[in-house]
Each structure stands twice: as structure tokens, then as C-alpha cells.
Amino acid sequence: MSEELISHEPATGAELWRGGISDVDAEVAAARQAWPGWAAKPLAYRAETLRRFADRVKADAESFADLIARETGKPLWEARTEVESVAAKVDISVKAYAERTPNRRIEGAMGLRHAVRHKPHGALAVLGPYNFPAHLPNGHIVPALLAGNSVIFKPSEKTPAVGAKLAQLFHSAGVPEEVLRLVIGGPDQGKALAGHDGIDGLLFTGSARTGVALNRQFADRPGKILALEMGGNNPIVVWDTPDIRTAAMLVVQSAFLSAGQRCTNARRLIVRQTVAEALIDEVRNLTNRLIVDHPHADPAPYMGPVIDNEAADGLTESFLILMSNGGQVIRHMTRPIADRPFLTPGIIDVTAMPERPDIELFGPLLQLVRVDSFEAAIAEANNTAFGLSAALIGGTPQLYDQFWANARAGVINWNRPTNGASSAAPFGGIGLSGNHRPSAFYAADYCAYPVASSESDALRASIGVGLRESDHDAPKLVRKGFL
Ligand code: NAD
């Protein structure tokens, strides 16, 4: 990588931003030095500073959303919802800090008390993905700062402008520059940051490939906290329902929202054979109507381009590989503008494929599998090493109970899309989707550690058993090795 990072708008190819690659050592050193001072401030001070940050975000919402839309290619309406989530994160985190990491005091006898309090880890690194370049790193940064940590934040190399803007909003609200450091760079800077002795932990959102590499990098450093929020190969199961139209809408939302670039997007549609044809017709018709266009286009598009040409090439190639391995095309994935990464959604029936790849295809590509029994549907839903989100559409309360009990995922929904999770709930996955450190409401858990103390205002001690009257009548040494 050169000494400069340049970001381009996926929709137009125009240059959007450029900036120098950061010196990781210097950024870590600054954050290390700063955290004790920040941690020593009262919690109310840190909360108020972060509330000011939320106000700045709201005041700057339109230009922030415009920047997110330009840099990611997502529609402006969707970028606006991302900005709303960034601002809302502060109040949610203050509540979560109080609920998840409260101080506790247990009174004992004779003035003794036991206390549980939480301490920040120190200097925490945050690595962000490109698909929600503000909301997702912010979901680590706000709780980390609130708990008294300093943060070294490296946005994705594909969305540095949004990362720089987010950092600037924190600083303008009064978070000291030393307490929140920005690292501009790509995987090399990510690796250097993750392996740096000066960090006390790493909060990561990104692909399973990177997450697994980070897990290895942390294997001989058990003392450092590592939170991994990774991808998924998410199933949506459609069972008996009289309302095929709404079922189709839930499928389309689950698969193609954000051009399929959400970790929670459905990748696999598992459908009961008897309803398959009707559902496929509805899904195809609805998908044909989706507007794929520039983020600022009028009428507003449902989805914009994927992040870059490389991602679009990979997805069209994956579609061809599925086709050539026995997949039956339901709807072709096309590339309407040759040199731009716009993709129309692709849908392919892979039921007859003997071996289906268990990988996250991060774009508007849905694979369909037909099954005959509910047991087969659950087995197919769990036929993945990932475990992020899963949804059942239709069925009965009893079938949902069975699905909920047996589906292996951190988010399990009924008659709702696989995506659109609430920030007021924990959010994380199992298997290759995470390392049991869920984010969102439970982010407080990995931003501070509990300390248990026994305390008494006065010195008080007694040895009740096994003590002689005086030390004069102590016996001589009788057994070798004991004095
Ligand atoms: P990515 O793994 O390529 O990159 C994420 C971050 O890690 C970037 O900042 C990148 O520069 C850095 N990085 C890359 N390789 C690294 C290495 N070897 N060492 C250290 N740092 C490295 O992910 P992406 O493509 O930007 O984001 C999309 C992925 O994120 C998808 O897999 C998606 O499912 C996942 N995601 C997960 C969640 C979640 O909460 N579970 C949310 C959003 C996105």
C-alpha cells in the first residue's frame, strides 16, 4: 500500500477522499498514555461528553448521511437510518452500562462489605467493516469510551472518509484527541494494531476470515480481550402460510436489503416443496421490481451498488460457479453497467447440487433449497459452520418452538426478516459468526471487567482455631521439612 489511501464512490468511480497512512506505533502510544486520565473522570462526565457527540451527529445528520451514501453506495434513505443509529447508540450504551456492569455492594457482619465494581481494560483497538462504516465501529467505540477506555479506531480501507468524519464528531464533542485515535490504513495496519503490545484488547467487526486470523494472533495473549463479530451464511425457512405475498416480501427484504451487504442477510432460502413454486413466483416478481440505482437517484432505489468492482466480480463469478455445478437459475445476476459494481439480485436453486459451498457470499445472491419435512428444513438451516441469524416464516407456534430450540444462531426470528436487529438487544453469533462476546446491548460486558472486593473501614482480624496460648510451649521440630 502507498503512503496515501484514496477512497472512491462505488456508484460513480469518482475520487471522494484521500489521506495519509497512519503510524500505528504513534497512535497506540498516544491512546495508552491517555486512558488513565479519561478513566479517572466521573462516569457522568463521560456520559455527558458522549451525549454531546450524539447531538453533534444529529446536527450534522444530512451531510453525514450523504457521505455514507457516497462512500458505500447505499441509498441515501438507508444512510440516514445509519446516522440515526449512531446517535441513538449513546443512550442505549448508558442504559446498558448501568444494567450490564452495575456497581454492587453487599453488606456483611461487623462493618464488612463486599463490593463489585468494573474497570476499563485500558487502550482498546477497534477494527471496522465497510458495510456500516459508522454504526458498527460506533457500537464498540461508544461503550468502550463510556467505560473509561481509550480507543484506537481503524476504519475499513474502503470507507476511510466516514471513519475520519466519525472521529472528528467525537473530538468536536469534547472527547480528547488522545483518547480517540484514528488509524488510516488497510489490513497491514490492522495486523500491526492487533499485534501491538500496547493495546489491551481488540473489538472487531468484519469477515470470518479476518476474525479467525485475529483469533490465532491472540492465542498466546489470553490476558487481552478479543470480541469478534463476524459474518453468516444465514437461512430463512418458509413453511406453510396462506400469505405467500408477505412471505415473499420478507424473503426479499432478508436477502437483498443493503444489496445483500449485511451480515444478517439471508443467503439460503429453505422452502417446503409444496409451497415452493408459488413462493418462487412471488419472490421473482417482487425482485424484478426492485430499483437498483445511484444512492441519490430519484425515484429512490431499493439498493445501490456493492462496494467495488472486485466484490461485484467475485459475486458474478460465484453465481456462475453455482450454475456450472448444477444450480438452476431462477433469476440471473446481471451487471447493468460494465465498469461499475451495480448488480441485479441473483436467485438460484441449488437443491440438486451435491455439495454446496458453506461460505458467506456478501451480496445480492440467494440460494434456494427445497425440502419435504420440517426436520429436513432445520437440518438444512444448521448445515453451516456459521450461526448468526435465522428466520422462520409461516408455520405454527409449535413449529416455531421447534425451530427456536434447534436452530443454531445468535438471532432467531419468526415472521420477521433475518436482518434489522434491535440495538436494545444483544447481537452476536455462534460458530464462525462470533466468539461469544455479543455486541449491541451486551457490548458493555466486553468493555469493562469486574473487580470483587472485601472491604472494612476498621482493621479487624481473628484466628479462631489452631492457635496455642503462647509461643513458649511450642514443640521442637518433629518432622523433617517442617519448622
Ligand atoms: P474485513 O474482514 O475484510 O475487514 C474488516 C476490518 O479488518 C477492516 O478494517 C480491515 O482493514 C481489517 N483487516 C482485514 N484483514 C486484516 C488482518 N489480517 N488483520 C487485521 N485486520 C484486518 O471485513 P469487511 O469486508 O470490511 O466487512 C464485511 C464483513 O463483515 C462481512 O463478512 C460481514 O458479514 C461482516 N460483518 C459482521 C457484522 C457483525 O456484527 N457480526 C456486522 C457487519 C459486517
The domain spanning residue 369 has which CATH number?
3.40.309.10
Q: What is the distance in A from the centroid of ligand 1 to the CA of 441?
A: 21
Q: What is the pLDDT of residue 29?
A: 98
Mutate to test the pocket of ligand 1, among 22, 24, 126, 131 (most ligand atoms within 8 A of CB): 131
Q: Decide if 405 is inside a domain.
A: yes
Residue 444: per-residue pLDDT: 98
What is the model's pLDDT at position 110?
83
| Substitution site in 153, 199, 210, 307 for ligand 1 pocket (most atoms within 8 Å of beta carbon) | 210
Establish if 468 belongs to a structural domain.
no
- Say whether 380 is catalytic: no
Q: Looking at residue 87, which CATH number applies to its domain?
A: 3.40.605.10
Asked if 192 and 24 count as a contact pair (C-beta separation under 8 A), the reply is yes
- pLDDT recorded at residue 473: 65
CB atoms closer than 10 angstroms to residue 299: 7
Separation CA 413–CA 341 (nearest Å) = 31
Q: Is 131 in the pocket of ligand 1 (CB under 6 A)?
A: yes
Query: What integer pLDDT is reported at residue 481 of this predicted model?
Result: 54
* Residue 465 within a domain: no
Residue 455: count other Cβ atoms within 10 Å of its Cβ: 11
Q: How many domains does the chain have?
A: 2
Give SS3 for 455.
Answer: strand
Q: Are residues 21 and 133 in the same domain?
A: yes
Q: How high is the pLDDT of residue 477?
A: 56
Query: Looking at residue 469, what is its pLDDT?
Result: 83
* Residue from 27, 71, 229, 360 carrying the catalytic annotation: 229
Are 245 and 221 in a shared domain?
Answer: no
Residue 50: domain span: 4-229+442-455
Helices 160-172/43-59 angle, 10° precision: 120
Q: Tell me, using a 6 A CB cutoff, whether residue 194 lines ligand 1.
A: yes
> Within its chain, how far is the Cα of 56 from the centroid?
24
Q: Which three cell numbers stand for residue 315?
A: 459475486
Long-range contacts from 308-316, C-beta under 8 angstroms, 24+ separation:
308/8, 308/10, 308/158, 308/341, 309/339, 309/340, 309/341, 311/341, 311/362, 311/363, 312/341, 312/342, 312/343, 312/363, 315/343, 315/346, 315/361, 315/362, 315/363, 315/364, 315/365, 316/343
Please tell me the distance from the alpha carbon of residue 161 to that of residue 156, in angstroms, as a whole number: 10
Phi, psi angle pair for 170, to nearest 5°: -60, -45
- Residue 32 in any domain: the answer is yes
Domain assignment of residue 321, yes or no: yes
> How far apart, in whole angstroms, are the C-alpha atoms of residue 461 and residue 332?
79
Q: Is residue 393 part of a domain?
A: yes
Low pLDDT (below 70) residues in the chain: 1-2, 473-483
Residue nearest to atom 9 of ligand 1 (CA): 156
Same domain for 53 and 160: yes
